[in-house]
Amino acid sequence: MIQENKPPLYVCPSPALLHLYDVSGSIVVIIDVLRATSTICTALFHGAKRVIPVASVEECIQKGEELQAITAGERDGIIASGLQHGNSPFEYPVSFIKNKTLVLTTTNGTRLLDMASDAKQIITGSFPNLTPVCNYLLHQNQPVILGCAAWKDRVNLEDMLFAGAVVNSIKEKFYINCDSAFIAETLYLHAKDNLYACMQHASHFHRLAKHGLEEDIKYCLTIDIAPSLPILKDGALINIC
């Protein structure tokens, strides 16, 4: 339990708790496994030029017109009125997204991105880009906050699972005095041999399964299937992998 000059790492389980952490002094990893940050790393891995996260549907429409970009976003599991595409990673294959700009709005993930805008640096993470996220954090030697997007501020299983996977992978290089980090890692170690089975306990699983999105869920839990590293620069997420 000696600090040994390692940078601190915290897990913030809900956007409603973000104010408790030193956002401006940290790299914040935005985590919205189902499905914003899974779709972001997929679009970028498939060659999207950039993904611009916006908080509202109106802003999405406006920005899309301004930049002649693809607009995407859902509200309550349905493509929002006025937008072209949804939140599924399967909507963004190479043939469609390569060299394009995607403007994206989601219920929880893009809101947290907005809230964390003071961070020293913002990257996004999900199981499809677990290893690039971990490698990046290991090389920066900076304080880290793993920020879960949650569900309308309620702690959710899938984002805590991913936070736990990151903690488990990089903890030796960080000073961790954070109960949420221990809880997330314990949860991940319990579930890691079958993440999909564990996810059947999640409230979000039932919301998405209603829409027939089991394949989306499986994809979003697949480690390193879209190993890009989305980093926020001038309001857009670009791939620096």
Q: Which phi and psi (to 5°) does residue 122 adopt?
A: -125, 130
C-beta separation of 11 from 159 below 8 A: no
Residue 201 as a binder of its own copies (CB under 8 A): the answer is yes
Question: What gap in Å lies between CA 201 and CA 199, rounded to an integer?
Answer: 5
Is residue 17 within the footprint of its own copies (CB under 8 A)? yes
Beta strands 144-148 and 27-31 are parallel
Specify the residue, 24 or 203, whose C-beta has the smaller distance to its own copies: 203
CB-nearer residue toward its own copies: 183 or 223: 183
Please state the closest distance from residue 199 (CB atom) to its own copies, in A.
10
Q: Does 132 bind its own copies (CB under 8 A)?
A: no
Instruction: Give, as ranges, the residues between 137 and 166 that touch its own copies (CB under 8 A).
Output: 151-157, 160
206 binds its own copies (CB under 8 A): yes
Distances (CA, A) of 72 to 30, 56, 159: 19, 11, 22
Out of 20, 94, 138, 240, the only residue in the binding site for its own copies (CB under 8 A) is: 20
Options 52, 80, 119, 202; binder of its own copies; rule CB under 8 A: 202
Q: Which segments of the chain does DSSP mark as H helices, in order?
A: 36-45, 57-67, 94-97, 109-115, 130-140, 157-170, 179-191, 195-199, 203-209, 214-220
Q: Concatenated DSSP letters for 128-184? A: GGHHHHHHHHHHH---EEEEE-TBTTB--HHHHHHHHHHHHHHGGGSB---HHHHHH
**Nearer Cβ to its own copies (209/236):** 209
Task: Taking the CA atoms of 37, 221, 187 and 130 in sequence, report the sign of the dihedral they define.
Answer: negative
User: Nearer Cβ to its own copies, position 69 or 112?
Assistant: 112
**Nearer Cβ to its own copies (74/159):** 159
Q: Is 67 a residue that touches its own copies (CB under 8 A)?
A: no
Nearer CB in complex with its own copies: 117/203: 203
Q: Which of 1, 2, 78, 197 binds its own copies (CB under 8 A)?
A: 1
Residues near its own copies (CB under 8 A), total: 29
> What is the Cα–Cα distance from 96 to 166, expressed in whole angstroms?
31
- Which residues contact its own copies by CB under 8 A? 1, 13-14, 16-17, 20, 151-157, 160, 177-180, 182-183, 186-187, 190-191, 201-204, 206
